[in-house]
Amino acid sequence: MGKKRFGLTEKRMNDRRFRRVEEAILKVVINEDYYIGVGEMAKKIGVARSTVYNHHRAVREIIPDYERYLLSRYNRIINKILKRREMRIRDVMRHVLIFVLHNREVFMFLEKCGRRGIYGQMMTKMELELSRRLRLPNNYQKMYIVYRGEVMELMAEWVKNGVVEEEMNELLGDIVGLTDTMRIRLKGLLKD
């Protein structure tokens, strides 16, 4: 008999019944106190305790499960996007923001729980490709850390304010502005 699998995977989330229960679990955790017990959660969503345990080993595992799930989906999507040579940074960042928009409830949940590390992991995934596309010099790391922090803060504020779709182009403009500023600063450093 195989090892029991917990957590969220693309395959499990494609199952309609699994996804319905998972959406109910997420809704309870977002609207209620995060530290709700499994029994109380099962009662609120109308399933057996074993069903909740089939989704997550424990309530405290919900946040890490969602972070892993989002990052695995993001990695798959961003890898496809970054393979396209003709994509500009603006287009890549637009896809990132669309990914956040499509997963807004989960990002809002993570923001509510104070888990902003996911933005850093998303930006780190793109670091090498962004440095290549922006033609950054070898000593770009310190500047990229500042850039990444500023982009993460912009994304976190957008999520905190409710991921309003109408604000996405403004946010994208801010990110592209930061990108251009970083490029200009690094070119200035190279001349010195």
pLDDT of residue 4: 52
**Cβ atoms within 10 A of the Cβ of 63, count?**
17
Domains of the chain listed by start with CATH number: 10-57 (1.10.10), 66-191 (no CATH)
pLDDT of residue 188: 62
Residues 6+ apart with CB under 8 A from 176: 89, 90, 93
CB 122 within 8 A of CB 96: yes
Two tokens at 183?
């490029």
- In angstroms, rounded to a whole number, what is the distance separating the alpha carbons of residues 153 and 172? 13
- Output DSSP code: residue 36: -
Q: Dihedral angle at the C-alpha atoms of 180, 183, 186, 187, nearest 10 degrees?
A: -110
pLDDT of residue 2: 44
pLDDT of residue 189: 57
| Class of residue 88 by CB neighbours under 10 A (exposed 0-12, middle 13-18, buried 19+) | exposed
pLDDT of residue 192: 39
pLDDT of residue 158: 92
Is this prediction's pTM over 0.85? no
**Along the chain (192 residues), what's the average pLDDT of each consecutive run of 10 residues?**
62 83 83 76 88 80 85 89 80 90 87 83 82 73 82 90 90 90 70 44
